[in-house]
Amino acid sequence: MPEIVLEVCVDDAAGLAAARAGGADRVELCGALTIGGITPSRGLMELASASGLPAYPMIRSRPGDFVYGAADVAVMKGDIRAVRAAGLTGVVLGANRPEGSLDWPVIADLVAEAQGLDMTLHRCIDLCRDVDQAVEQAISLGFRRILTSGGTLKAPDGRRRLAAMFAQARDRIIIMPGSGLSAETLPGLRGLPLREVHGSCSVPVPPDPQGQAFGFQSPSQRRTDPGKVAALKAALRAWPTAGHRSA
């Protein structure tokens, strides 16, 4: 039976190699994970394309909120074209309105640019007030999956909302829990019919005082750890619902 898919978010060449070595099934390719991830560089996209590991770049033009203006949208549409040119087959995107809903016109514009690519709606949905509506909108827009922590900082704490999202989605869209997931915290999702999960599988980077003083290194810098990837993958193989097939 098909195994649960493990997606690992990475933001550099070393992370890409570590995810592959640990047995990840797919990577979310980002820049600057210390600020939640932005669109990766063209060079990293090309490296990922040659790696043989499926890689879906984050389409996010800047840090901060997901409320985008016309200039932001133009940048992100250009980034989607770069994804296609690099030979990658999926993207991760989303947008919000200020009042706390999905920005349907903006997302629809990005989706039109991404036609033919696999699409993940990212955690902008965790900022939505009406999650039921947002799930239906994601389905209508053609997304294959939703990455979500269930509206909490860590996915195991959002189990109740995640359960409701699984029930609503049925087989129409994949609900992919992510944030704070590891082999140790995965049991917090017990009982959910997991198909795909998302994690950073990372460890802190030893601080460089000079680099931090100059602003070249974040105090929260982390790196992907192949052992953590392997441990989470092993825990997923033992998951009681591992027979569920992805949509």
- For 39-87, the DSSP string reads PPPHHHHHHHHHHSS-EEEB--SSSS-S---HHHHHHHHHHHHHHHHTT
Which CATH number does 5-115+182-237 carry?
A: 3.20.20.380
Is 11 a residue whose pLDDT tops 90? yes
pLDDT at 241: 55
pLDDT digits (tens, 9 = 90+) for 61-78: 999 999 999 999 999 999
Is 154 a residue whose pLDDT tops 90? yes
| Cβ-contact 63, 35 below 8 angstroms | yes
The span from the CA of 219 to the CA of 212, in Å, is 7
Q: What order of strands is seen across the sheet that includes strand 26-29?
A: 55-57, 26-29, 5-10, 196-199
| Cβ-contact 19, 233 below 8 angstroms | no
pLDDT digits (tens, 9 = 90+) for 200-227: 999 998 888 888 888 888 888 899 999 9
The pLDDT of 176-184, averaged and rounded, is 97
Is the CA virtual torsion 2, 56, 228, 125 positive or negative?
A: negative
Output the pTM of the full model: 0.94
Structure-token pair, residue 133: 């509506």
Q: With CA atoms as reference, report the closest residue to 86 among 118, 120, 57, 124.
A: 57
Q: What share of the chain is helix, strand, coil (3-state, %, to 5)?
A: 40, 20, 40
The span from the CA of 221 to the CA of 208, in Å, is 10
Amino acid at 174: I
pLDDT digits (tens, 9 = 90+) for 114-144: 999 999 999 999 999 999 999 999 999 999 9
Domain assignments of the chain as residue spans, ordered by start: 5-115+182-237
Place of tokens 């900022």: 127
Is 5 a residue whose pLDDT tops 80? yes
Structure-token pair, residue 204: 């802190």
Q: With CA atoms as reference, report the closest residue to 139 among 29, 16, 6, 247.
A: 247
